[in-house]
Amino acid sequence: MRVYNFSAGPSTLPEEVLKEAQRDLLDFAGTGMSITEISHRNKAFEAVVNEASSLLRELMGIPEDYAVIFVQGGASQQFAAVPLNLMHTGTADYMVTGNFAKKAWQEGKIYGNAVKVADSSDRTYTYIPDVDAVPFSENADYVHITSNNTIFGTRFVKFPQVKAPLVADMSSDILSREIDVSKFGVIYAGAQKNIAPAGVTIVIAKRSLIQSPLPVCPTMLQWKVQDENNSLYNTPPCFPIYIALLVLRRLKALGGIKAINEINEYKAGLLYAFIDGSSFYRNGVVKECRSIMNVPFVTPSKELDEAFVKEAAGAGLVSLKGHRLVGGMRASIYNAMPVEGVKALIEFMKQFELAHK
């Protein structure tokens, strides 16, 4: 029996995609082999990479002069790849709006003058600082942001308008809402939240920015090299790329990002409205900064939080335990979480409140 899986990542995938992958597992595209067994130089696999990148271009409206590449090492590897590809003069700005943003900044400091230009840790990352009031450096090689803060449940609604190329870690909200890619220099995302199983990371980068990686940049981290080799410089994560393709095809059939964004707003709206209308549950995030992907909430006590997570799991609503830095609960309601899953969660929350109030 399938459960509703609210894990922050790796997270739930569309059931139809899993069934399709299961169906094709023994014989992929008439090869008589599984996708996990064929060479990455096989024409059938090359077609997977090409279709996945062109679908991503189409869905996100990625301009022609941007590279779309599939790499390994997770978003965390990109924390190093960003300075190694872009930090030419040695200064870069970081908005530290959460734990991953902080890690990106700390990694940046290894390579140069990574300036923390904004920091919302004073109120445990429950808000996004006003982007118009941030003292960005005059000479920054780039400005790094985390568009959605997975652990704390915040997101940028407005992106900073800066001279330097804007670099965004979109691991937990890529493909969930429409964005203007041309406003960004680089976008990267670990796939295991909204796109695919863990193992593949997507990088979208303006080609003119990535032509001269730092001399110490490992070959594997050079976006230019990955781009020139169509993500096939070495063996790529074949299976996650294949699942990404199935997810992208399904997203297109659903009506694209605009359509999924409406569903996402609807799902998050239901959950926040219920929490706000309750005197039992609470979400501590500044309203305008609330994520539509990750919704942290608490009951009146730690003991009840613990009971909630346990009883919810018993009712088929799993992985609701909040991150250790925040405690309480967190419902991650990515693209693949059906509306029924959110409704089932709200129904359970009502029952739990009645039983424990």
Ligand X SMILES: *Cc1c(COP(=O)(O)O)cnc(C)c1O
Q: Which amino acid is at 296?
A: P
Structure tokens at 225: 């090299």
Question: With respect to ligand X, which residue has the nearer C-beta, 146 or 319?
Answer: 146
How far apart CA 186 and CA 207 sit, in angstroms, is 9
Q: Give first-to-last CA distance, the chain, whole Å.
A: 31
In the complex with ligand X, the residue whose CB is nearer, 172 or 335, is 172
Q: Nearest distance from residue 190's CB to ligand X, in Å?
A: 3
Using the rule CB under 6 A, is 169 a contact of ligand X? yes
Binding mask 186-225 for ligand X (x = CB under 6 A): ----x--x--------------------------------
What are the residues whose beta carbons fall under 8 Å from the beta carbon of 334, sequence distance 6 or more? 11, 12, 172, 176, 193, 194, 293
Q: Is 9 in the site for ligand X (CB under 6 A)?
A: yes
Q: Which of 91, 146, 176, 264 binds ligand X (CB under 6 A)?
A: 146
Residue 175 one-letter amino acid: L
The answer to whether residue 12 forms part of the interface with ligand X (CB under 6 A) is: no
Please, which residues bridge with residue 169 across strands? 146, 188
Rule CB under 6 A: choose which of 34, 72, 76, 230 binds ligand X: 76
Residue closer to ligand X (CB basis): 53 or 332: 332
Which of these segments, 49-57, 72-80, 233-241, 337-345, binds ligand X (CB under 6 A)? 72-80
Of positions 74, 185, 237, 328, contacts ligand X by CB under 6 A: 74
Q: Which residue has the tokens 């969660």?
A: 345
We find the least distance from the C-beta atom of residue 282 to ligand X, in angstroms, to be 23
* Binding of residue 150 to ligand X (CB under 6 A): yes
Mark residues 109-138: x for contact with ligand X by CB under 6 A, - for none.
------------------------------
Question: CA 206 to CA 245: how far, in whole Å?
Answer: 22
Residue 316 token pair: 């088929």
**How many Å apart are CA 200 and CA 203, to the nearest integer?**
10
Distance CA 270, CA 19 (A): 29
* Contact residue for ligand X among 11, 53, 120, 172 (CB under 6 A): 172
Give 3-58 as a DSSP string.
-EE--SSS----HHHHHHHHHHSSSSTTSSS-TTTS-TTSHHHHHHHHHHHHHHHH
**Closer residue to ligand X, CB minimum distance, 239 or 280:** 239
Footprint of ligand X on this chain (CB under 6 A)?
Answer: 9, 74-76, 100, 146, 150, 169, 171-172, 190, 193
